[in-house]
Structure 1
Amino acid sequence: MPNSTAGAAAFDENCDPNNPVVVKFEDIEAAAHRIAGTMVRTPLLKAHLGQAYGMEIYYKAEFFQPTGSFKERGVSNLLATLTEDQKKHGVISATTGNHGSAMCYHTLKANIPCHVVMPTNSSPMKIAKCKALLGNRVIIHGDDIMSAKLFALELAKEKKMLYVNGYDHIRVIEGQGTVGLEVVEQLSTVDAVLVPVGGGSLLAGIANAIKHLKPDTEIYGIETEKTCSMTESVRRDELTAVPYADSIADGLAVSLAGVNSFASIKGMVDKMVVVKEEWVMRAIMHLLEDEKIMVEGAGATAFAAIMAGMFENLKGKKVVCICSGGNMDSKVLSRAIERALGAEGRLVKFKVTVADRPGGAAELCALLTGIGVGIRDMLPDRTWVKSDVFSVQMKVVAEVTGMDQLKELTEVIKRNYKEYYFHEINAKTKSAPTRRGPCLAPNPVCMQK
């Protein structure tokens, strides 16, 4: 194994900042023929929620690929272009998950040697998925993707393997561009396409494919506030790194966009848009509840931007959201839904002081269930009650259907109890500190960047 401290000197000749390669439409077309039959031609699903946002919304369902993401397109195209010598020595890549799964799956099918380096902050589910395919050829190294990449580049030199940048190798970008070809074939009247962006290969490929076929179609790149290297790079007109941060959209979490990807989007992308992480969580929940599809954070960013009210200019138009993947860790999914419920006022936390006698808590439960409020959790606290020894403070987490039922709940508590406190809403006792209530606007400006 190489010494990771020497990795700073590693260099990827296929992603040279001094010699970027711009993807060509004819190469995307060639990639489509090359990978035909190895990929799922994913459906374009019409959204049920389109009317609510004044648009005709479609989802490009890349989560239907065998390993659950669009990454297979780029990997399959690259493997199909390897020389015999490259096939003999094999390939290696650094990844947080989806690219690694695609590498493992397709190299096994093609009987090509492969190593995958994953940082410790990768999703446990995605690590397990890769290890199930490659076993001990999956190496866990580094605290983030850049550390894993430096280690993988040095290991590539030692073993004479080809390093494959999962978001910047030109063959990968060509493969991702086949998503754009399919979108135009499936919806020739498309007005706009919203693409999640991490390193940028998906955006670069799709933008070049669609702009060649339908120049008037608007292309938007969508990032989260924690993964916005491409947005900063476009703003400054030079590749710009951002501090690495854990994100609900872990598939987009890179600190520096790709060299070739950045060069390839110039003049092809209408606008970069940054969405708050909270909206991504809400999008995950609504796609699951209302559309009956489960996507990971990266795959929900496009719809999240619509939910956040960032595309008023697309009202009345046909809009495609690229749902890039569906590999969501169950624990993260649970947390995301809980946060989304809280953000929409469907989970409410409050304290209320009730009589500390048999039936005191039962009366509170009866009041809540009487108006259809679900009780998630209820905990008595006698130690910190300041009024008297005959009272107990109940800490309650309740589930409501929305703001109307939340209002009904606060009114019921006000009528029946003297001491109460609702977190993050304006129902409180006189002695409680003043807190700003929730923004009730349908698309709160405070949630946007």
Structure 2
Amino acid sequence: MNMELDRIRDAARVLKARIIRTPLVYSPTLSDLFGADVYLKLENLQKTGSFKVRGATYKILKNRDKLGPRGVVAASAGNHAQGVALAARQAGVPAVIVMPVWASITKQIATRNYGGDVILHGTSLSESLDKALELSREGRTFIHPFDDEDIMAGQGTVGLEILEDLPDPDLVLVPVGGGGLIGGIGTAIKALRPRTQVVGVEAAVCPSANEALRTGRLVAVGSAQSIADGIAVKRLGEKTFEVIRRRVDRVVTVDEEHIAEALLLLLERKKVLAEGAGAVPLGALLTGAVRCEKGRKVVLVVSGGNVDSPLLGRVLTKGLLKSGRLMRFTVQVDDVPGSLARLLGVVAAHGANVLHIYHDRNVPDLPLHVTRVELEVETRGFDHMEALTEALKTAGYQLVP
């Protein structure tokens, strides 16, 4: 008897009708791009916008009679906070969520709206965690974000659903942060279809899983800011590490540029809004860190869609610049009537769409009769950018560095 699989099946029973059974969607676009049959498991459509509600709900409901007299407490800057808050409300128990002071206002509001009592404490997540553990000693049950068998079992229901919809996947790519999601999915899939490869994907700026697997022990890694902040976890959990060693074939990393590219590709071509952590499986295909063979069935787990609007704007702009879809340039023109119109005429004649113009006469080193014009235009790619640049030079404009 496989006790781990039994726990995941019990989680599926408990969670039935309490969460959304998210779709597994075939993508013709991505399949053509990578030469394999590519499917997306859309956990960004889950309640609270993330898979996290699965584990939190199972943990709280399974242990409803054992919870502290004052409910539950958790520490999180985002998805776990919202998952625990909603799970506690559905179970009818109070929840205190400790969030670092820099947690986004959007996520603070969402957590409160799901019923959580939000306390802002600490300049780091570890300080928020210390505060949550302190509060747990006052009669609240601490809900760990990943290093817990019940949490992993709840997340493992994602793996069961994948196999119910696609019984024979060859490869499943899963984001890795603390390891709860891939631990659960890997356990479910390897128990039911051992031939399927389960590959983890983490942000290159925070490679805690890679370092743990390389050294054979848990290590804390440094972490820079990442678009995939949801998986920027500096150290795996003890329980999740043991499961990953047994159930996961390998873990790869993706750099920030390819995470942004993946996010943009999902949004533009599939109309799927993914947060950075949810886009890393596609990023692994874009970098070539994971290669697909023709005819293989590949599942990308889009783990969540909770991306802040300001960050989304920056990511999209960076992605457009990187792909040659956005061009910015500066020229100097005579400050006489018609000069700007002539410049815009060259841009229009070559099919570029003007997005922003900044017209500056007050540049210290410019003659009085000259003005500087900065333009941001939408282009079709690098060939189009090159053609526009040549047209501007032919028309007599010198692009200013």
Offset from partner CA, 1:260-299 (integer Å, 9 cap, x none)? 1111111321111110111111211111111011111111
Do residues 163 (structure 1) and 152 (structure 2) align?
A: no
In structure 2, distance between residues paired with 1:309 and 1:391: 48
Aligned: 1:411 with 2:361: no
Q: Using the aligned pairs only, state the percent identity.
A: 36
**Distance between the aligned counterparts of 1:95 and 1:244, measured in 2?**
17
Which amino acid in structure 2 is aligned with residue 49 of structure 1? L
Q: Which residue of 1 aligns with 2:106?
A: 125
Which of 61, 64, 88 is equivalent to 1:80?
Answer: 61
2:25 to 45, 59, 62: 45
1:351 aligned to 330, 336, 347, which one?
330
Q: Answer yes or no: is the 8 Å Cα contact 2:253–2:289 preserved in 1.
A: no
Matched, 1:203 2:182: yes
Instruction: Kindly state the Cα deviation for residue 134 of structure 1 after the two structures are TM-superposed.
Output: 3.0
Q: How does 1:188-199 map to 2 (within 5 A)?
A: 188-199=167-178
**Distance in 1 separating the partners of 2:326 and 2:133:** 47
Secondary structure of the residue that 2:374 maps to in structure 1? strand
- 8 A Cα contact 2:173 2:200, kept in partner: yes
The residue number in structure 2 matching 1:398 is 377
Q: Conserved in 2, the CA contact under 8 Å of 1:95 and 1:117?
A: yes
Q: What is the Cα deviation at residue 190 of structure 1?
A: 0.5
CA shift for structure 1 position 53: 1.5
Q: Which residue of 1 aligns with 2:5?
A: 25
Structure 1 residues 149 and 314: CA distance shift in structure 2, 3 A: farther
Aligned ranges for residues 6-405 of structure 1 at < 5 Å?
24-47=4-27, 48-82=29-63, 84-86=65-67, 88-134=69-115, 137-157=117-137, 159-384=138-363, 388-405=367-384
Note the alpha carbon deviations across 1:181-227, whole angstroms, 9 max, x for none: 11111111201000011111001111111111111111111111223
**Amino acid in the other structure paired with 1:65:** Q
Distance 2:289 2:64 in 1: 46
Q: 5+ unaligned residues in a row in structure 1: which ranges?
A: 1-21, 423-449
Encode CA deviations 1:81-121: one digit per residue, 9 max, x unaligned: 21524153311110111111111112111111211111123
Contact 1:248–1:281 at 8 Å: present in 2 too?
Answer: yes
Stretches of structure 2 that go unaligned for 5 or more consecutive residues are none
Deviation at 1:235, TM superposition (A): 1.4
Aligned residues of 1:23 and 1:264 also touching (Cα < 8 A): no
Q: Which amino acid aligns with 2:120?
A: I
Q: Which moved more, 1:372-381 or 1:402-411?
A: 372-381
Q: Name the aligned partner's letter for residue 75 of structure 1.
A: A
Specify the code of the residue in structure 2 equivalent to 1:25: L
Q: Structure 2 CA distance, aligned partners of 1:250 and 1:362?
A: 44
**Aligned partner of residue 267 in structure 1, secondary structure:** helix
Q: C-alpha offsets along residues 15-35 of structure 1, whole Å, 9 cap, x if unaligned? A: xxxxxxx98222212222222
Q: State the TM-score, normalized to the length of structure 2.
A: 0.95
Structure 2: which amino acid aligns with 1:295? A
CA distance in 2, matches of 1:388, 1:334: 36
Aligned partner of residue 285 in structure 1, secondary structure: helix
Query: For the structure 1 residues 392 and 217, does the alpha-carbon distance in structure 2 shift closer, same or farther, using more than 3 Å as the test?
Result: same
Asked whether the 8 Å contact 1:87–1:112 carries over to 2, the reply is no
Counterpart CA distance in 2 for 1:413 and 1:333 is 32
Q: What is the CA RMSD across the aligned residues, in angstroms? A: 1.9
Q: 1:284 to 1:328 in 2, by over 3 A?
A: same
Judge conservation of contact 2:155–2:180 (CA < 8 Å) in 1: yes
**Secondary structure of residue in 2 paired with 1:255:** coil
Deviates more, 1:195-204 or 1:31-40: 31-40
Mark the CA change 1:418 to 1:111 in structure 2 (over 3 Å): closer, same or farther. Answer: closer
How many residue pairs were aligned? 399
SS at the partner of 2:114? Answer: helix
What is the rounded CA distance, in whole Å, between the counterparts of 1:76 and 1:345 in structure 2?
44
